[in-house]
Amino acid sequence: MKPLLSYQSTTAIIGLMIAVVILFLIRRDILHIKRSLWWIGIALLIVLMGFFPLQFAKFGVLLGVNYPPILILTVGMGFVLIKILSMDLERSRQERTLRRLTQKLAMLEGFQKESKAVEKIELRTKDEKLNDTNNH
């Protein structure tokens, strides 16, 4: 049975579909542009692999990889590890920022309570002075 599409066409179509989904997510403001550049690059790479598979195979042979799919899997795994590392770095930065904001909020709440306490004391002092002047 003859396949409907070649593997080249299938790969190119998958890459184009990924690119369209990414552009849709950007347009709906679901995916931030900074994050989308990574995914657009991946989609572009997949499209290029679909249109030029022999060039990727030759590149793999130059690197000493005789079976081209292994090169793609190895490079893909490397990209995944880099992406995970960048996500962990971003998460750590966000946690640090959240911790600092929480500390600042606690300080502001403390200042607010202190301010209210001072205000109450000042009101009592004014009331006592009024009472003293009214009694005399």
Asked if residue 53 lies in contact with residue 7, where contact means CB atoms within 8 angstroms, the answer is yes
Residue among 55, 81, 54, 85 at smallest CA distance from 73: 81
User: What residue ranges of the chain have pLDDT lower than 50?
Assistant: none
Helix axes of 68-135 and 53-62: crossing angle, nearest 10 degrees: 90
Say whether 56 sits in a helix, a strand or coil.
helix
Q: 52-81 pLDDT, tens per residue?
A: 888 888 888 888 888 877 888 888 899 889
Tokens linked to 11: 């790969």
**CA 56/CA 70 separation, integer angstroms:** 11
Q: What's the pTM?
A: 0.64
Asked if residue 44 lies in contact with residue 22, where contact means CB atoms within 8 angstroms, the answer is no
Angle at CA of residue 94, ends 89 and 98, nearest 5°: 150
**CA 106/CA 102 separation, integer angstroms:** 6
Quick one: pLDDT at residue 104? 96
